[in-house]
Amino acid sequence: MTLIRYRKLTYIFSGTLVLLSLIALLVWHLKLGIDFTGGSLIEIEYRSDRPSLDELNKDLVGSGFHTEIQPTEARGVFIRTQSLMEPEHQALLFALSHGDKNLFTEKKFDSIGPTIGAELARKSVYAIFLVILLIVLYIAFVFRKVSEPVASWKYGIATVIALIHDVMIPVGVFTVLGHFFGFEADTLFVTALLTILGFSVHDTIVVFDRIRENLKIGNRNQSFEDIVGRSISQTITRSINTSMTVLLVLFGVYFFGGESVKTFALTLIIGIFFGTYSSIFLASPLLVTWHGLITRRGRRL
């Protein structure tokens, strides 16, 4: 019950984060990886000390390649350039090695054409919207017998608002990280967003289901706000414990996993944290606010 009383503060906090994320997205745009833009990505690891980035860039520009170079770990480097055919790929490696094949080891080479990249971007957006639509339909179906005091479809709308909140914040964070630190959103980023949607709606449904059960057994002297507050109190420990277990694993993946999964793990960490927050402080309080607005309007009528 206590948490429900502070719902206006959580609305302001959540609204501010979503607004800042939207502004960052509109101003700086999300930096997309080659999965979406097309191009080639090469990861190499030097056997001894890695040359400076200026030296590497000088070697590649002198050979006619226009690249972005990003250091990884102690002796590794990511090189992003235009889409390369195999002869161009070998020419780039030769420019870096100066003919010495033992200077470094090539760990990764990915090349994607711009047409395929655009198709992946389009399908990723479709996938996110389709998942949200199916979630709304599912929740409306599951809560179809709950008509009082809040209609079943309003549970679905509250869930959608929470899901938009849970997706926008990681997108906003990665827009900032991409602008200042070169983080790129790839297909793993989209996979992480879809995972966040699933985890978040699972957490929200747990609270909604407890509200449904308490509505069945509640007495007439209890207000809807009291029932929602009691439902949150009964489920908050479970939600936090479940999320903490997942977050501990993700922190392990982020700090001790490979470089290629760090973006995926960081996206999930941000999304699951705010997904748990929204199921407690946003989705359920929205039902109370909606019910209060309808009740006051009915009294005026």
Residues of the domain holding 43: 39-111
Alpha helix locations (H) across the chain? 2-5, 7-28, 34-37, 53-62, 86-97, 114-142, 152-181, 187-217, 224-256, 262-278, 284-300
Residue 212 reports pLDDT greater than 80: yes
11 and 106 share one domain: no
CA of 95: how far to CAs of 3, 100, 199, in Å? 62, 10, 46
154 and 194 share one domain: yes
* Dist CA 68 CA 42 (whole Å): 11
> At 85, is the secondary structure helix, strand, or coil?
coil
In a domain? residue 49: yes
In a domain? residue 56: yes
157 and 241 share one domain: yes
Bridge partners of 212, per DSSP, are: none
Backbone angles phi, psi at 45, to 5 degrees: -130, 125
Q: Residue type for 127, please?
A: A
Give residue-wise pLDDT tens across range 234-292: 999 989 999 999 999 999 999 988 777 888 999 999 999 999 999 999 999 999 998 88
At residue 4, the pLDDT reads 81
Q: How many domains does the chain have?
A: 2
44 and 151 share one domain: no
In a domain? residue 301: no
| Confidence bin at 173 (pLDDT 50/70/90) | very high
Cβ–Cβ under 8 Å, residues 115 and 252? no
Q: CA dihedral in degrees (214, 220, 225, 226; nearest 10)? A: -70
